[in-house]
Amino acid sequence: MVERKTSPAVEASLTALAVSLRGVTKAYDNGVMALGPFDLTVRKGEFISLLGPSGCGKSTALRIIAGLSAPSSGTVRVARHEGEVQPGQPGHGIGFVFQEPTLMPWTSVRENVRLPLRLAGVPKADARARADAALASVGLADFAGAYPRELSGGMKMRVSLARALVTDPDILLMDEPFAALDEITRFRLNNDLLVLWRRLGKTVIFVTHSVFESVYLSQRVVVMTARPGRIQADIRIETVEPRGEEFRTSAAYSDYCRRVSAALAPSYSGQSTL
């Protein structure tokens, strides 16, 4: 049996469901069926990746979970510490990191991170302190007064992550946040994200096109079919925690990458084993 050393915060949170999608579909007005039927269960504290070809509905699934898009059919349930609410209602505890940082160029890093709190009516002093704490958590404490134009691409994504974390969400949705970054920066941010996840115990659903990134980050890799997106395979990544560079160069990592790649191959060939 493989030894697992997940943090107490993560272990405690894995006793309850965070997200449940049952029979979810999404059809657009132009007749395109983007998703489904799609069934997904995520437990609190899990880190999962959605992996699949472009247009398979990965981002659509995230937007449905976040309440930014309504499913055409099916049921979506999102839980929080205080109980269970429907997506889109205030306070359902979701942070969203988009593909682009989408920072306001005319204001400081601190004010960009403070924005969700300002919109929620949090007093300025409290919001400032929370924004500074979020920036410190992503290694940008010294850049609170800087402007987005003064930051590298990787630093901008850190700001975007801090903004998603500043409301202390239960669930963190990440839509290919590192796709446009160079490989060295991407590896570094992957490592930093795992450190944050272990420390904070958040539920993370991470969208990526990278087999290597999905295997390195995730407890589970959910491989999706070509459109309309369904689940092709749900592969659990069992390895010693915490992960580091030794895992990235291990035989186990290579084996998992081959397994995930094999599950993904039918989606790119226009075939499905479903």
Q: How far is CA 185 from CA 157, 161, 238, 265, in A?
A: 11, 15, 25, 27
Tell me how far apart the alpha carbons of residues 151 and 162 are, in angstroms, rounded to a whole number.
Answer: 14
Q: Is the pLDDT score of 156 beyond 90?
A: yes
CB count within 10 Å of CB 5 equals: 9
Torsion sign over Cα 233, 199, 182, 159:
positive
Q: What's the confidence (pLDDT) of residue 165? A: 94
Residue 4: what pLDDT?
A: 35
Note the pLDDT of residue 88. 42
Q: So what's the pLDDT on residue 96?
A: 95
pLDDT of 119 above 70: yes
CA distances from 169 to 27, 47, 201 (A): 29, 14, 11
- pLDDT for 79: 82
Residues across the chain: 274
Q: Please give the average per-residue pLDDT across 218-222, as a whole number.
A: 98
CA dihedral 83, 89, 93, 97 (to 10 degrees): 150
Per-residue confidence at 80, pLDDT binned at 50, 70, 90? low
How confident is the model over 60-71, as pLDDT tens digits? 999 999 999 999
pLDDT of residue 273: 45
CB atoms within 10 A of CB 241: 17
**pLDDT for the residue 243:** 86
- The predicted-structure confidence for 5-50, as pLDDT tens digits, reads as follows 444 544 444 458 999 999 999 999 898 999 989 999 999 999 999 9
pLDDT digits (tens, 9 = 90+) for 157-188: 999 999 999 999 999 999 999 998 999 999 99
The 10s digit of each residue's pLDDT in 81-118 is: 544 445 444 444 899 999 999 999 999 999 999 999 99
Amino acid at residue number 199: R
175 token code pair: 């839509």
DSSP E strand boundaries for 184-266: 203-208, 220-224, 231-236
Residues 6+ apart with CB under 8 A from 8: none
Q: Which CATH superfamily is domain 8-93+171-268 in?
A: P-loop containing nucleotide triphosphate hydrolases (3.40.50.300)
Q: What is the 3-state secondary structure (H, E, C) of 89-152?
A: CCCCCEEEECCCCCCCCCCCHHHHHHHHHHHCCCCHHHHHHHHHHHHHHCCCHHHCCCCHHHCC
pLDDT at 241: 82
Predicted TM-score (pTM) of this structure: 0.88
Quick check: 252 pLDDT over 60?
Answer: yes
Q: Is the pLDDT at 143 greater than 80, yes or no?
A: yes
Mean pLDDT of 236-240: 91
pLDDT exceeding 90 applies to what percent of the chain?
A: 78
Is the Cβ–Cβ distance between 256 and 237 less than 8 Å? yes
Report the alpha-carbon distance of residue 51 to residue 223 in Å, rounded.
5
- Domain ranges across the chain: 8-93+171-268, 105-168
**What Å distances lie between residue 80 and 22, 118, 145, 167, 253, CA to CA?**
18, 22, 33, 13, 33
Token pair listed for 42: 């995520």
| Dist. CA 111–CA 96, nearest whole Å | 17
